[in-house]
Chains A and B, each alone.
Chain A
């Protein structure tokens, strides 16, 4: 067994899991954080996207033992059902998601992008979402939502 102590969504957590446990499996099965989804399990689809020490990555491609001491943010750390994150609100208003399976990953990718680049161009948004496969929407409304958030933030600063 591997003993892991880490911070998840601001809380200190510990677990003991078999060495072959991925970060994704530990999040879902040990901590009941099921926002990150198991899709392709090889790093293509982005449904398992989380942020570790500020880096957007696929939780299916990390072993639990590799995140010992690290800081993990999942979609559950961004907001609650009653108090959505501003990115989620705009996605909801615009109807940017349909089935929603890709949503937690897409929203974390959008957050990561806007944290780095407050005024992304469409090609930059497409680049940031290239690792999140959505088979419902065709991405158009996601891109519009991210542009809207960027504009709203710029207006509120101005």
Chain B
């Protein structure tokens, strides 16, 4: 690895100060699962002069209910999400998504915030958070700002974060904590696979109709996206097998690519099937809870 200077931030504001002081050739180290691989193997032009370690900033940890909703600190690891009683109970789709990431070792290191900041289109944390209309909080020298998560990414490996800004937390709005949601990933093998397509579907059940249906799609566009055509088709419609199958309208929102993992056509077929199954899964969760 090429040489760099190393600073450990005590908390979020210390991290922001260190970034402002040492930018622009500075990188933030959280779980390290992406950054360390980059530091070892990326082009010299991308190499930072300074690495700011935020892994000890305890104010970026923790999972708790706040007035705004369920707050997940940016440094919460994938394992911590899988083990969180409130998430297991209220939002098992987030547990399923976390479980498909890497393996035990990388889930113990890798953080939710890191997964989002890396902004790889196939990230497995993305679709569920998009489907839940999650809000992200960003901190910088001028203070904090919040935005819907779908506005956080601007392209593959690109976010709105400026050099001296960090992601602080991810908030699932109160009305969506407990919203029936289901996540599915299709990879070429079970262990440590990248998603060819990943999908999360979420909706409230109003009588027997879809209320606020949301579908998040990953690996089929430059960023994780809302399948807005499918969402607007489903809004207010009766919850029937036929309408769930019409979730395939999500294909219209995607721009999948051909690569060595799969063709664009195959990815489109996957979107149709996985969207239907994700809608069915969310409904099953609703029925299971109702039966209790």
Contact = CB atoms under 8 A, between A and B. Distances in A.
> Is B one of A's binding partners?
yes
Interface of A: 2, 18-20, 22, 41-44, 46, 49, 55-58, 60-63, 65-66, 109, 112, 126-128, 130-132
A20 B4 contact: yes
Contact of A22 (B1, B102, B105, B106): B1
Nearest to B191: A130
Instruction: Give the 8 A-B CB pairs with smallest separation, nearest first.
Output: A131-B103, A19-B6, A130-B191, A42-B37, A20-B1, A130-B103, A55-B108, A131-B105
Given A22-B1, A22-B36, A58 B53 contact: no
B190 interface: yes
B2 interface: yes
Interface in B80-131: 102-106, 108-109
User: Which of A41, A109, A130 lies at the interface centre, i.e. has the most chain B CB atoms within 10 A of its CB?
Assistant: A130
13 contacts: A20-B1, A20-B2, A20-B3, A42-B40, A43-B37, A43-B109, A56-B108, A57-B108, A58-B109, A61-B37, A65-B6, A131-B102, A131-B103
A35 to B, nearest CB: 16
Given A18-B3, A19-B3, A42-B41, A65 B105 contact: no
A60 B109 CA distance: 11
A140 B184 CA distance: 28
Nearest to B35: A61
Given A41-B40, A43-B106, A130 B3 contact: no
A61 B109 contact: yes
Given A57-B108, A131-B102, A19 B37 contact: no
Contact of A63 (B3, B6, B79, B104): B6
A65 B8 CA distance: 8
B194 to A, nearest CB: 11
A62 B109 contact: yes
Chain A contact surface mostly: mixed
A132 B36 CA distance: 19
Contacts of A66: 8, 29, 32, 53, 55
A65 B56 CA distance: 11
B32 to A, nearest CB: 5
A58 B102 CA distance: 12
Contacts of A60: 36
Contact of B105 (A2, A19, A20, A58): A58
B5 interface: yes
Contacts of B229: none
User: Which of A41, A126, A131 lies at the interface centre, i.e. has the most chain B CB atoms within 10 A of its CB?
Assistant: A131
Interface in B1-59: 1-6, 8, 29, 31-33, 36-37, 39-41, 51, 53, 55
B192 interface: yes
Contacts of B109: 43, 57-58, 61-62
B261 to A, nearest CB: 16
A133 to B, nearest CB: 9
B123 to A, nearest CB: 16
A20 B32 contact: no
Contacts of A19: 3-6, 51
Given A20-B39, A57-B108, A63 B102 contact: no
Contacts of B8: 65-66
A18 B41 CA distance: 18
B43 to A, nearest CB: 16
A19 B41 CA distance: 17
Contacts of A112: 104
B114 to A, nearest CB: 11
A46 B105 contact: yes
